[in-house]
Amino acid sequence: MWYIEIIRKYLADICLVVSWENSRFTASKLLRVKDKTTMQDNYIRFDWAMKRLLRDKANYVVLEGFLASLLGKSFKIHRFLESEGNQEDEEDKYNRVDILAESEDGELCIIEVQNSRELSYFHRMLYGVSKAITEYIGLGKPYEEVRKVYSINIVYFELGQGKDYVYHGKTEFVGLHQPHDTLKLSVRQNEKFFGNKEPDLLKRKAASDLFPEYYVLRVNDFDKVATTPLDEWIEFLKTGNISAKAKAAGLPEARERLRVDALSDKDKQAYYRHMESVRHMKSLFDTSRDEGYEEGMDMGLAKGLAKGLAKGLAEGLAKGRSEGLAKGRSEGLAKGRSEGLAKGRSERSMEIAQQMKAMGLTKEQIAQATGLALDEI
């Protein structure tokens, strides 16, 4: 019928419209998700920024803000020096990045970012500081020209074991017999090394202030709301996001200067390759860790079963021996008592029978009285 064909075409048009609307809704939803992702990934990772952007004098303010939030004092960058990370091979450069900065006061600061686990990382921290001290003092120069060094380590793996996410280490000189007595510099030392002729002992610098200081930021352990400038920085280091409310020194500048969309096409491609390499290395590490965990579980289970079986056999044997001994002792005692009692009764009946026989009683009378057989009397 002609009207059936019209109805069929009308329904087909409705289905097409519905399908188009659904597609438009799905596309819109995907765009919103993409927009959110873009907002989250809008800022360059700090390690890549250290390699490419923060060495530019115009961007020193970003790094200086981070150092001020961590050290609790101003660290004005004078220049960047040659660092160990500048000489790394192609594979390792995605794993860690480090820079060596010199302040206007001549202090040195090593900032290192490491992505994957390293068992001897603490030793390498020590080596890096030692290397900086020895390399940046002129040959034949007096010891007083040894630089103050700060070692700042931003790690994306579980380094050591502890409950905090930021750790500070330094050399302290404390009295053995007076634990509250800290070794201070003399008036002359305080004046020569810090330019302050301070007569008050309590206000003078400590001997430890001349020695290197170490900071470890275990970024992945940060799981709280940022309430301090340092927390705002660590939140950025962990998530790559800078909150609109963040006020920490350097972060407002980072918000403007570390945007991915501000990079040139060439730098964008280099950045994306870097991020892909970081993700790939993390995936390899996670895979090897999971496989190692499973293998360890299997070995542990097998070893546990073998050990448990051996222990169970030993305990079962000991228990069986103990229970068997106790049971044998009990049964033997009962049997001995029963047999002894029967024998005692028999001997007593024989004595009575002899007495009755001496009294002139007949065997029949004696058998009836004692229960003995006639041939036993």
Same domain (yes/no): 13, 78:
no
pLDDT digits (tens, 9 = 90+) for 298-342: 666 667 667 766 776 677 677 767 776 677 677 766 676 667 666
Using DSSP's 3-state secondary structure scheme, residue 114 falls into strand
Instruction: Give the domain-ending residue among 225, 247, 262.
Output: 262
State what percent of residues in the chain have pLDDT above 70.
Answer: 72
Higher-pLDDT residue of 335 and 105 is 105
Same domain (yes/no): 71, 154:
yes
Same domain (yes/no): 32, 65:
no
Tell me, what's the pLDDT at 15?
A: 44
Higher-pLDDT residue of 295 and 97 is 97
Same domain (yes/no): 36, 156:
no
Helix (H) or strand (E) holding 209: none
pLDDT band at 48 (very low <50, low <70, confident <90, very high): confident
Q: Identify how many contiguous H helices and E strands the chain contains and give both numbers.
A: 9, 6
Same domain (yes/no): 219, 248:
yes
Tell me, what's the pLDDT at 7?
A: 44
Helix locations, 240-264, DSSP H: 251-257
The stretch 133-151 carries a mean pLDDT of 91
- Interatomic CA distance for residues 295 and 304, integer angstroms: 14
Instruction: Give the contacts of 43 (CB within 8 A, at least 6 positions apart).
Output: 236, 240, 241, 242, 254, 255, 258, 259, 260
pLDDT band at 34 (very low <50, low <70, confident <90, very high): very low
Same domain (yes/no): 34, 112:
no
Is residue 60 assigned to a domain? Answer: yes
pLDDT band at 17 (very low <50, low <70, confident <90, very high): very low
Alpha carbon distance, N-terminus to C-terminus of the chain: 131
Is residue 254 assigned to a domain? Answer: yes
Q: Which of 30-34, 72-76, 340-344 has the highest mean pLDDT?
A: 72-76
- Interatomic CA distance for residues 352 and 369, integer angstroms: 9
Residue 150 sits at the vertex; the CA angle it makes with 271 and 252, to the nearest 5 degrees, is 50
- Interatomic CA distance for residues 57 and 24, integer angstroms: 47
Same domain (yes/no): 119, 143:
yes
Same domain (yes/no): 228, 243:
yes
The stretch 98-106 carries a mean pLDDT of 93
* 372 pLDDT higher than 80: no
Instruction: Give the contacts of 45 (CB within 8 A, at least 6 positions apart).
Output: 240, 274, 275, 278
Number of domains in the chain: 2
Instruction: Give the contacts of 329 (CB within 8 A, at least 6 positions apart).
Output: none
Tell me how crowded residue 21 is: count the other CB atoms within 10 A of its CB. 10
Instruction: Give the domain-ending residue among 232, 262, 292.
Output: 262
The stretch 266-284 carries a mean pLDDT of 76
Instruction: Give the domain-ending residue among 198, 230, 262.
Output: 262
Burial class (CB in 10 A: 0-12, 13-18, 19+), 110: buried
- Interatomic CA distance for residues 32 and 36, integer angstroms: 6
Same domain (yes/no): 2, 134:
no
Contact between 133 and 146 under an 8 Å Cβ cutoff? The reply is yes
pLDDT digits (tens, 9 = 90+) for 146-168: 999 999 999 999 999 999 999 99
- Interatomic CA distance for residues 190 and 60, integer angstroms: 30
pLDDT band at 295 (very low <50, low <70, confident <90, very high): low
The domain containing residue 215 runs over which residues? 46-171+211-262
- Interatomic CA distance for residues 343 and 28, integer angstroms: 107
Ramachandran region, residue 228 (left: φ > 0; alpha: ψ -120 to 50; beta: rest): beta
Is residue 348 assigned to a domain? Answer: no
Is residue 351 assigned to a domain? Answer: no
Provide the edge-to-edge strand list for the sheet that holds 77-81.
77-81, 96-103, 108-114, 149-155, 213-218, 166-170
Tokens found for residue 213? 């200081």
Is residue 32 assigned to a domain? Answer: yes
Higher-pLDDT residue of 262 and 37 is 262
Same domain (yes/no): 35, 50:
no
Higher-pLDDT residue of 162 and 11 is 162
Dihedral sign for Cα 279, 280, 282, 287, please: positive
Tell me, what's the pLDDT at 288?
A: 58
Same domain (yes/no): 166, 57:
yes
Same domain (yes/no): 81, 121:
yes
Tell me, what's the pLDDT at 361?
A: 75
* 137 pLDDT higher than 80: yes
pLDDT band at 247 (very low <50, low <70, confident <90, very high): very high
SS3 content of the chain, % helix, strand, coil (to 5): 60, 10, 25
Helix locations, 260-377, DSSP H: 265-358, 363-370
Is residue 19 assigned to a domain? Answer: yes
Is residue 70 assigned to a domain? Answer: yes
Is residue 166 assigned to a domain? Answer: yes
